[in-house]
Amino acid sequence: MSYLQYFQIPELDRRFLKVWLRNKDVFMKNVKLNFLPPFLEPILYLLAMGFGLGAFIDDIDGVSYAQFIAPALIAVSVMYASFFECTYSSYVRMYYQKTFDAIIATPLIIEDVIAGELFWGATRSAINALVMIPVIAAFGLIDLKYALLIVPFAFLAGLLFACIGMCFTALTPNITVLEYPTLLFITPMFLFSGTFFPLKVLPEAIQYFAFAFLPLTHIVRIIRALAYGSLEVSLISSLLWILMASLLFFVLSMNLMKKKLIV
């Protein structure tokens, strides 16, 4: 397969929804357990960092520290939900449970399986955002007027991280190697994407790097604006970045996984 073939537009059919529904049914069997982390995490972070550490920190850009990190907690949860769903969970379904083999033995094809996995990863991100918004709103830290728009945006942001995660799944030789993208890619974004402190306090070179190469930077920026109800024209650049990156990694992940499964 030449390099250009990795960027061929895949043919999709609505049959991929069958895979999405299969994953949804499995998720619903443990729905209480699955809803617990996105419910408890914002409470713990806000109590420990927002109100605990925040008591020693002055307001940031005119808002309290708790209000500053609250939207970022949603963005981080969006990243984690879809990325880990399409790395560790997808790898287990593919390699250990042989779920992919079983599905491909039906009239569904490889493209249906991968697309179903990607869109389910995006759905997991939207679910996490939907659970977290009322929790954070109960603390009075977000404006619900625009905050509900975070849910559909979380689906788009989740799709981006699902596609990135699926690329790593396609390239990794075994499940333990997935620790490297988690350590070298996800963790730096968690720390240096404007989540717990403004990017402007960092050297300019790191700021440019964050805006150019770290998806979470743009996601935090948009979710923070929606949470505050302060939409600006400048956010269009971040939205376009996410849309273009999502399209690029969607095509790339589909082709990489197709090669891996065929081989």
Query: Which whole number is the average pLDDT over 91-102?
Result: 93
- Whether 132 has a pLDDT exceeding 90, the answer reads yes
The answer on pLDDT for 169 being more than 90 is: yes
- Looking from the CA of 103 toward its CB, the CA atoms found within 13 Å total 26
pLDDT reading at 69 higher than 60: yes
First to last CA, the chain: 11
pLDDT of residue 7 exceeding 80: no
Using alpha carbons, list the distances in angstroms from residue 150 to 25, 145, 255. 24, 11, 30
- CA–CA distance, 28 with 21 (Å, rounded to integer): 10
CA dihedral 27, 32, 38, 41 (to 10 degrees): -140
Instruction: Say what the alpha-carbon torsion angle 202, 72, 142, 222 is, to the nearest 10 degrees.
Output: 80
pLDDT for residue 146:
85
103-126 average pLDDT score: 95
Q: What is the pLDDT, as a whole number, of residue 157?
A: 98
Side-chain-side CA neighbours of 76 within 13 Å: the count stands at 21
Which tokens hold the place of 143?
């404006």
Q: How far is CA 183 from each of CA 188, 216, 259, rounded to the nearest angstrom? A: 8, 15, 26
Q: Which two tokens stand for residue 31?
A: 């729905």
pTM: 0.94
- Using the predicted structure, report yes or no on whether residue 245 has a pLDDT greater than 70: yes
pLDDT above 60 for 263 = no
According to the model, what pLDDT value does residue 4 have? 67
